[in-house]
A and B are shown apart, each in its own frame.
Chain A
Amino acid sequence: DSGVTQTPKHLITATGQRVTLRCSPRSGDLSVYWYQQSLDQGLQFLIQYYNGEERAKGNILERFSAQQFPDLHSELNLSSLELGDSALYFCASSVGGRASAEQFFGPGTRLTVL
């Protein structure tokens, strides 16, 4: 158990819909990272927040947005969903904000878009 929690574990929805994935970091960690993992692309970095502020942005689509709240939990919002958005979405957290910081991953949310 990494100490990072993600909900829900599974999500099945239809194209065009909007969903929200939630992540609670390990106690004391200020950084939260979101990743998308698909069979063909592997693990892709989406976005990082550090203490409530956006720190780094990766391959995140404009239809996707995220935020980190004062209690440090984070949400990833996916809208106008397409079939290709079906993937595993992981949240990770670390104490510091540097890329080299040790990241602890949550168990992931499996999103299926039908």
Chain B
Amino acid sequence: TQLLEQSPQFLSIQEGENLTVYCNSSSVFSSLQWYRQEPGEGPVLLVTVVTGGEVKKLKRLTFQFGDARKDSSLHITAAQPGDTGLYLCAGARRDGGSQGNLIFGKGTKLSVKP
């Protein structure tokens, strides 16, 4: 069972378009992180959201954490070819201890064509 579902799985758009990717779960997370991964490299943390309803902006990227802390979205405005990559969301479970780890979604593979 995939605890974190990301959609869409693949997204191919033209430069300048806007897009939104989603990260959904039936579980509550104490925090949620978004990573970007380029081919042959490790994931790089973009943002951490911790409060239900929280919105964070990172230049053209806007991240939102759902009110119930079960879902999140990433919106990119005026996408550029440099935004191409695999976007991963990862939730930190509230029940720590032996379950204290990040649960990753399978990712959204974004391709932005010039």
Taking Cβ atoms with an 8 Å cutoff, the residues of A that contact B are 2, 4, 33, 35, 41-45, 48, 55-58, 90, 92, 97-100, 102-108
Given A102-B45, A107-B42, A42 and B100 contact (CB-CB distance below 8 Å):
no
Q: What is B's interface to A at a CB cutoff of 8 Å?
A: 2, 30-31, 33, 35, 40-45, 48, 50, 88, 90, 92-93, 96-107
User: In the bound complex, what is the Cα–Cα distance between A45 and B77 (angstroms)?
Assistant: 31
Q: Which residues of B contact A98 (CB under 8 A)?
A: 92, 96, 100
Q: Are A45 and B42 in contact (CB under 8 A)?
A: no
Do the beta carbons of A105 and B102 come within 8 Å of each other?
no
Q: Is the CB of A45 within 8 A of B96?
A: no
Q: List 9 A-B contacts (CB under 8 A).
A: A45-B102, A56-B98, A58-B101, A99-B30, A99-B96, A99-B101, A103-B102, A104-B45, A108-B41
CB contact between A92 and one of B41, B42, B93, B107 (< 8 Å): that residue: B42
The reply to whether B45 and A103 contact each other, CB–CB distance below 8 Å, is: yes
**A102 to B48 Cα, complex, angstroms:** 8
* Contact pick for B30, options A41, A48, A58, A100, CB 8 Å: A100
Indicate if the CB atoms of B103 and A45 lie closer than 8 Å: yes
- Chain A's nearest CB lies how many Å from the CB of B80? 23
A43 touches B100 (CB 8 A): no
Inter-chain contact A100/B50, CB cutoff 8 Å: yes
Asked if residues B92 and A43 are in contact (CB atoms below 8 Å), the reply is no
Tell me how far the C-beta of A39 lies from the nearest C-beta in chain B, rounded to whole angstroms.
9
Interface core residue of B2, B105, B106 (most chain A CB under 10 Å): B106
Task: Tell me the bound Cα distance from A55 to B99 in angstroms.
Answer: 9
- CB–CB B102/A42 < 8 A: no
Measured between beta carbons, the chain A residues less than 8 angstroms from B90 are 43
